[in-house]
Amino acid sequence: MSDVRARPHAIGSPMDRIDGAQKVTGTATYAYEWPVEHAVHLYPLQSTIAAGRITSVDTAEAEAEPGVLTVLTHLNAPSLTRPDDPELAVLQTDEVAWRGQFTGAVVAETLEAARAAAGLVRFGYAPREHDVVLRADRDDLRKPEHAAQFGSAPGDLQDGSPADSLLGDADAALDSAPVRLDATYTTPMYHNNPMEPHTAVVSWDDGALTVYCSTQGSSFSQMLIAGVLGLPPDRVRVISPHVGGGFGSKVYPHSYAVLAAMAARTVRRPVKFALTRQQMFALVGYRPASIQRIRLAADGDGRLTAIAHEVAEQTAKAKGYADQVAVCTRLMYTAPHRRTTHRLAPLDIPVPTIMRAPGEGQGMFALESAMDEMALACGMDPVEFRIRNEPEVHPESGLPFSSRHLVACLREGARRAGWERRDPAPRARRDGRWLLGSGVAASTYPSPRLPGSSATIRVTPDGHHRVLIAAADLGTGTWTTLTQIAADALGVPVEQVEVRIGDTALPPASVAGFSSGISSWGSSICAAAERLRQVLESDHGGTVPAQGLEVTADMPANPDEDRYAMHSFGAQFAEVRVDRDTGEVRVARLLGMFDVGRVINPKTVRSQLMGGMTQGMSMALYEHSVLDPRFGHVVNHDFGQYHIAANADVHAVEAHWVHERDPHTNAMGSKGAGEVGIVGTAAAIANAVYHATGVRVRDLPITLDKLLP
Amino acid sequence: MDVEITLRVDGTEHRLTVDTRTTLLDALRDRLGNTSPKKGCDHGQCGACTLLIDGRRALGCLALAVAHQGADIVTAAGLADGDGGGLHPLQRSFIAHDAFQCGYCTPGQIVSACGMLAEAEAGWPSAVSKDPGATDVVLDDEEIAERMSGNLCRCAAYANIVPAIAEVAHR
């Protein structure tokens, strides 16, 4: 692959965020904040049963409230085109598929009026018995099929992988091995909870729709929204230059934007709709709960002979979403006999979605906890045990890795963490009433590119380059990192580059998901820069014409994508203190050593990795969406009850990386960095808690009741 | 019911009519077009809407606009030195330390930090203060983290927020 030209390199420089001043003053414009003339407000209505049918609707009292313009329900809502994604078909039937589903909307002149009137709408229901509990022994678990695009695309799981894999004879190897482990790990429902609630501000103008939307991909949103409204995509413009976090929940869930568009069409006024925090727990996805059985077999030298990872996970009857929970196990360690399976329990619950490292987040908690248990069973140090089982090629596909520096991460991380001073005996160190322990776990996440990006570059004779691509910045630093990539690709200082993103009026871009953004968008920008150079030389003798010059290029093909397995890696080390009397766990130090290829911006990538690790700590210790089996809703549906890590929960967090570029992934040599940071953290903490206390917690989160005798 | 009130926001006086149900946060964002304070939860649980009201930090989503007739309100937009000029030292420090990612909680974090520094200067103790009777508060990392824990950050920039504030506090 060609290198990105540039001297001096903007790539690799710890540039401050270009949008920093806007963000620290609060003047960066998020979806709700666009000034729209004569806008009205929408407040949604939600089902109060988990399964059944709406039998009656009484909107009279609400419609009589001052300021109310309309009340939409399934009885009067506009018809939608049947979408590929069933979650988007709002208000089309009287069927209720989960508690909290949209059943209607009140549109009023003010938010206060809409909200007050929403409380006056009465629905009658014919409920049927609901089924919301995930158990591994259910007799109706089914193999996921085509979950990637919900029935329309190949691949069984969300990432396009097959549901099952089988090599050799895992059962026979597990029966005969001298060292064996058979353990079950569980992870609960987790909610993404970006700080900016999901929002759509929509207006119709001459049959065309403008949507200011909090989305991880304006081009993808445009496709989804246009599809369900039966419009050609070029009649829908999605604008989203700043996004207040997403963590996966702003890729697929767009039912709120569809609802707002229907309302705006009905009242012929622009409509503003921001979900409340409570509503987000039923309407914009979550990480589905999992039950994972892991079996490992090893010989007397600590070499794995068999690995089996069997997953049961929850999904919604309304949409067959399936996380790739055991796919990480297919690539982490070598062993001749292996099996992974995924099975779904379709329930009367809200629709799950992508949440930062979907699948790997849950799966690596289980696998890396099991690896710790197995290291102890083999009498080996957990770092050395992993290194002994490091594969030379992808253990199932046989493809070489484009780059894999996991061993270097384990060794260098261990050195920085002071691992060699560690006494392996559990419950052997104290500081007053605190029990002290340390643990390690590996991290991994794919480093793909997604199709669908193009970049345009416009240059003027004064050397100003405008770079256009509908990419997204969710806090990932895209405004800044794409500027750095473009500067190097064009061979100019960053001051001569102006990047525009987050608007479907720009050339299309793939979503900010799957840790693929920089790889996909950066490749497209490099291709456009190369094309600009060619056109300048061939048609203009190397001089920019007076009227300027514009070129556009699609993301180029990368034949190496079929020849190599492309993944980021890491090793995480946790030091914990556990109160001997109360079981309170504090994470004194988290240290991550990562292999994310060439780093575009060390300042922003450090933040992403540290943020991922801290979310991983939050997943390990605090977060747990509690689904009430009697009613089928998440009871703790706000920040008071669903605790995410707060400032005082966090102590030392360090992220480092090996300085290795990947020769195959893309023109920059980078790999994905957005998700690998959260992968493995929970296992490192659980392993450290075991080391501190002698108690093995296999069920997240690690709350104090699980540590008390 | 509608009531006419006066609010002084970032140094500018505004006369406006508000529904008595309108929160101060919604009055700023929807009525005055000042979207610097953010709505993250509308329940006083996240801190994204933190304002300085008459010099003390408070949550805009838990305040009714009608109850703040004549109040002096400062947002993160008003901390910057007018006319697009210089940023507040906390704002510069947040940028230098990359103490945010998505930026949605950031104006609230910065306003909260501003109020917090004034509280510490005035000798207010926190839950982790070793000597609650002491008049001099030493803002070590633990004190800063404790006093900033009303401001959630889902991107989890905490490990950068603490040094960003410490640098300004220790100047």
A625-655 pLDDT, tens digit per residue, is 999 999 999 999 999 999 999 999 999 999 9
Cα nearest neighbour of B37 on chain A: A26
pLDDT score of A512 more than 50: yes
A233-271 pLDDT, tens digit per residue, is 999 999 999 999 999 999 998 999 999 999 999 999 999
Assess whether the region A20-29+450-557 and the region A165-190+287-447+563-706 belong to the same CATH fold: yes
User: Shortest CA distance to A308 belongs to which of A174, A197, A191, A428?
Assistant: A174
Q: Report whether B101 contacts A611 (CB < 8 A).
A: yes
> What does residue A698 show for φ and ψ, rounded to 5 degrees?
-105, 0
d(CA A69, CA A23): 35
A115-130 pLDDT, tens digit per residue, is 999 999 999 999 999 9
Identify the helix (H) or strand (E) that includes residue B2.
strand B2-9
Q: Is the dihedral of CA A370, A372, A378, A383 positive or negative?
A: positive
Confirm or reject contact between B29 and chain A (CB < 8 A).
yes
Tell me the fold of B2-79.
Answer: Ubiquitin-like (UB roll) (3.10.20)
A66-81 pLDDT, tens digit per residue, is 999 999 999 999 999 8
Architecture of the domain spanning A165-190+287-447+563-706? 2-Layer Sandwich (3.30)
pLDDT in the model for residue A465: 98
Those residues with Cβ within 8 angstroms of residue B41's Cβ, 6 or more apart along the chain or in another chain: A276, A277, A638, A639, B48, B61
User: Shortest CA distance to A477 belongs to which of A581, A590, A602, A566?
Assistant: A602
Q: How far is B13 from chain A (nearest CA, A)?
A: 20
Confirm or reject contact between A110 and chain B (CB < 8 A).
yes
A150-182 pLDDT, tens digit per residue, is 555 678 999 999 999 999 999 999 999 999 999
Residues with pLDDT less than 70, chain B = 82-85
Nearest to B45 among A245, A474, A640 (CB): A640
Find the mean pLDDT for residues A302-307.
Answer: 98
Please answer yes or no on whether B107 and A24 come within 8 Å at the CB atom. yes
- Least confident among A146-160, A334-348, A406-420, A591-605: A146-160
pLDDT in the model for residue A709: 81
Question: Quick one: pLDDT band at residue A85, thresholds 50, 70, 90?
Answer: confident
What one-letter code names the amino acid at A25? T
pLDDT in the model for residue B81: 73
pLDDT in the model for residue A576: 98
Question: Quick one: pLDDT band at residue A7, thresholds 50, 70, 90?
Answer: low
Nearest to B48 among A20, A195, A276 (CB): A195
Query: HSE-up of A163 (CA within 13 Å, CB side)?
Result: 17
Confirm or reject contact between A618 and chain B (CB < 8 A).
yes
Q: What is the CATH number of domain A34-129+195-245+250-283?
A: 3.30.365.10
Nearest to A112 among B22, B29, B110 (CB): B22
* Chain A neighbors of B22, CB-CB under 8 A: 110, 112
Question: Average per-residue pLDDT in chain A?
Answer: 96
d(CA A438, CA A395): 29
Please answer yes or no on whether B91 and A21 come within 8 Å at the CB atom. yes
Domain layout of chain B by residue ranges: 2-79, 89-169
Tell me the fold of A20-29+450-557.
Answer: Aldehyde Oxidoreductase; domain 4 (3.30.365)
Positions of A annotated as catalytic residues are 675
> What does residue A571 show for φ and ψ, rounded to 5 degrees?
-135, 130
Task: Give the whole-number percent of chain A exceeding pLDDT 70.
Answer: 98
Interhelix angle A602-621/B158-169, nearest 10 degrees: 120
pLDDT score of A2 more than 50: no
pLDDT in the model for residue A3: 52
Confirm or reject contact between A241 and chain B (CB < 8 A).
no
d(CA A214, CA A205): 21
pLDDT score of A6 more than 50: no
Q: Which of residues 462-501 of A touch B (CB under 8 A)?
A: 474-477
pLDDT in the model for residue A249: 98
pLDDT score of A374 more than 50: yes
Nearest to A17 among B33, B36, B95 (CB): B95
What one-letter code names the amino acid at A389? N
> Does residue A629 have a cis bond before it (omega within 30 degrees)?
no
Question: Quick one: pLDDT band at residue A1, thresholds 50, 70, 90?
Answer: very low
Please answer yes or no on whether B19 and A110 come within 8 Å at the CB atom. yes
* Chain A neighbors of B96, CB-CB under 8 A: 16
Q: How far is A670 from chain B (nearest CA, A)?
A: 20
**Number of C-beta neighbours around residue A698 at 10 A:** 20
pLDDT in the model for residue A5: 53
pLDDT score of A148 more than 70: no
Tell me the fold of B89-169.
Answer: DNA polymerase; domain 1 (1.10.150)
Domain layout of chain A by residue ranges: 20-29+450-557, 34-129+195-245+250-283, 165-190+287-447+563-706
